[in-house]
Amino acid sequence: MITLEKVKNRITGELSVPGDKSISHRSIMFGALAEGSTEITGFLESGDCLSTIECFKKMGIQIEHSMRPMNGVPLITVHGKGLRGLGAPYSTLYTGNSGTTTRLMSGILAAQSFETMITGDASIEKRPMGRIIKPLTAMGANITSARGNDCAPLVIKPVNKIKGIAYHSPVASAQVKSAIILAGLYTDADTVVYEPALSRNHTELMLRAFGADIHNEVNVYGSATAVLHPGLPLHGMKINVPGDISSAAYFIAAALLVPDSELLIRNVGINPTRAGIINILRQMGADIQEFNRDDSIEPKADLLVRYSELHGNANGRFEIGGKDIPTMIDEIPIMAVIAASANCETVIKDAAELKVKESNRIDTVVDNLKRMGCDIEATDDGMIIHGGKPLHGADIDTCNDHRIAMSFAIASLIAEGTTRIIDDHCVGISYPTFFNDLNKVTNR
């Protein structure tokens, strides 16, 4: 447990947040499947991403940690063995708390010539895997839930061949889409994934950089299609992982909420499929400026954030839903904290996916904000936040969810009294240095 007080100083200075978690996962996976070596800088060495590394080491992939000799920058080198180079693991593949590792690797494992079992911690064993079992089975994979409940552990047995399919995903999910695409690398016909909205497209962007023939299409109504033409080998490359927008979001919130603050956050990934929170906050009046933009592979920029009084539309209301949700699904807990201080009513809808994250984030966010004095209510697919009421300190039950812990640590900055974050260690899943960085920018 960590005890926090209302901040006495404004948020100032500059900060670099850890590398993007989604891109870090994929850099290891695709590097392992590529021919030749892949060199990765900016890699996020968090619990989730280290789980991905350990899984591939168990399948015979050599992965080295070192420092660049000229500047001392940490370097991860993955010695790829090509699409057919993985070997049978010597034990169950354990993914820790990582849904990305579990779901994406299932797509890769579905096409291998050996049997595997893949599982994770207690949270992973409750998260729905039927959403990948169904399409992978349609591709010819032999993948089953060991307990028959559509959750991990998953048992994946070898098959003679898997095939390309056209799959209509009921949800816009990058993990579902990516699992299908990665299995599609091993087919001899096109793999097509239709989504109701474009989910984050890190897989498509990075696979294309590795040499795959893959592209996205978005129609005028907002639905999206990913198309993979298989047959091309992947080739090792150099990857610089940008800062994680999900991690940056907590400090964007801090600078917006604490009066007179001004914070520069360096090298943040601003992929449009991930940066929904920036667009929403700007619509609410947030002063967020971009500098030094770089659009190579993954777009990134420096973000300058200044304190802003946030508001709704002319009717005093602001609604977040529809196609915006996939672009900010992981940021909704911190968005709710921001909305609690905004001078409006904020409605978050179409976000039922929050119920099957590391915790039920609808219930967890609503319960903890109520403890802090917020006027908030849960709905079936989101929440309604009546903003503007002062917050006070409380005991925060994180449910061992890293995004809840960090969101309410930011809430503590503007809450009168003492806030205690229970199970604060869970931030190590995605941002091991979070509390050190928080102390840095608050000048504590």
Active site residues: 330
**Could you give the 3-state DSSP secondary structure of residue 101?**
helix
Of the CA atoms within 13 Å of residue 264, those in its CB half-sphere come to 8
Give the pairing type, strands 74-81 and 116-119.
Answer: unpaired
Nearest in space to 267 (alpha carbons), one of 299, 245, 297, 242:
242
- Strands in 166-168's sheet, in edge-to-edge order, are 166-168, 191-195, 224-229, 213-218
**Could you give the 3-state DSSP secondary structure of residue 168?**
strand
Nearest in space to 23 (alpha carbons), one of 70, 62, 76:
76
Length of the chain: 444
Which amino acid, 394? A
Could you tell me which residues are beta bridge partners of residue 206? none
- Strands in 116-119's sheet, in edge-to-edge order, are 93-94, 116-119, 154-157, 142-145
CA distance 223 to 214: 17
Residue 302 dihedral angles phi and psi, to the nearest 5°: -85, 140
Q: How many CB atoms lie within 10 A of CB 263?
A: 23
Q: Which residue has the tokens 């005890």?
A: 3
CA 303, 219, 241, 425 torsion-angle sign: positive
